[in-house]
Each structure stands twice: as structure tokens, then as C-alpha cells.
A = this chain, B = another copy of it.
Amino acid sequence: MSLRAERGAATREKVVAIARRLFAEHGYEGTSIEAVLHESGLSRGALYHHYAGKDALFEAVLEAVESEVGRAILASVRGVDDPRQALVTGCLEWMRLAGDPVVRRIALIDAPSVLGWERWRAMEERHAFGMLKAALQASRAVPEEFTDLHAHMLLAAINESALLVARGGGPEAAEAALEDFLRRVLGPTP
């Protein structure tokens, strides 16, 4: 990689890291571009050279977050052979990850409103949601024609339980409830 491209990539990385922290801390609306500029020491011109606008910056941050989450989930199910068990394991891992305030605020609360539901789902499809759908299909736990819709509903349920953990009550209760919920949806183990 040339020196120039490297510098550009480094700048983007730095900006995304800072924006990620600010978005997570104060939300999308509560974070000003000015603050990102100030903390990064960058100029307006430079930032707008790399990102078309505030929402594009947010999208880049979300992409980074989702990508990390996806990798972590993949790692958690590595070695689990039974597709059904892998599904449960992956979902529980997901719930734990989504308990991180950064993931919560950025990926679950602000993303739908900022990007619009369509773009949000499109991104999830490329990351964690894609895995969930594949796992659900592999498990053959639900009729084929329901796979997509059930995967969506499951995803929503998991996200919700992750948000509930933050509300209080401890993660143990939420984990137990989620596991029970999953077993119900997946049906009796054959």
C-alpha cells in the first residue's frame, strides 16, 4: 500500500474509532461533527473528504461494530457440531455481545432511525443476521417457508433481551429466559 493510501486509511480508522465512542456515549443526535473534529484534530474538509456526511460516518462505525460482532459469534460456535446447539450457543453469545453499551446504542437503538430500517436490515443481513438465518435453516427446526420470517423474529427477540440486560435484573435471568424461549421456538430436540 502506498504511503498516501496508508495515511488515508489510518485517518479513517482514527475517525471511526473516535466517532464510535462518541456515538455510543451520546447517541447519534447528541454527537456533533464538531466534537469528532475536535477530538481527532482533523479539519472539516478532511472529514468530509472521507465521508459524505454524518450518516455515512455512522454507517462506517456501524459496519465496524457489526463486523466485530460477527467475528466473535463465529468464534463462539467453532467446534459445535450439532446445528441446533450451535444456534443456541451463537444466540447466547450474541446476547452477551449486544450487552456492550457500544453495540446496544449504535447497532440496536440508533441504527434503524439513522439509516432507515431497510439499510439497517441490509447490513445485518451481511453480518450476524445472515448467520442466524443459515443456522436456522441448517437446524431444520422450523418449516422451510418460515425460515426467513422466524429468523427475523428470533433476531428481534434476542436483541430485545440484550437491551433488557442493561435495564437491570442481571444477565443470568435473561440468558435462562432466552434459552427457554429458543427451545420453545425450535421445538423438542429430535
Point out residues on A near B: beta carbons under 8 Å: 27-29, 104, 109-110, 112-114, 116-118, 121, 142-143, 145-146, 149-150, 152-161, 163-164, 166-167, 173-174, 176-178, 180-181, 184-185, 187
Asked whether A149 lies within 8 Å of B163 as measured between CB atoms, the reply is no
Asked whether A113 lies within 8 Å of B109 as measured between CB atoms, the reply is yes
State how many angstroms separate the Cβ of A124 from the closest Cβ of chain B. 11
- Among A27, A116, A160, A187, the most chain B Cβ lie within 10 Å of the Cβ of A160
Asked whether A113 lies within 8 Å of B149 as measured between CB atoms, the reply is no
Asked whether A149 lies within 8 Å of B167 as measured between CB atoms, the reply is no
State how many angstroms separate the Cβ of A65 from the closest Cβ of chain B. 16
Asked whether B184 lies within 8 Å of A113 as measured between CB atoms, the reply is no
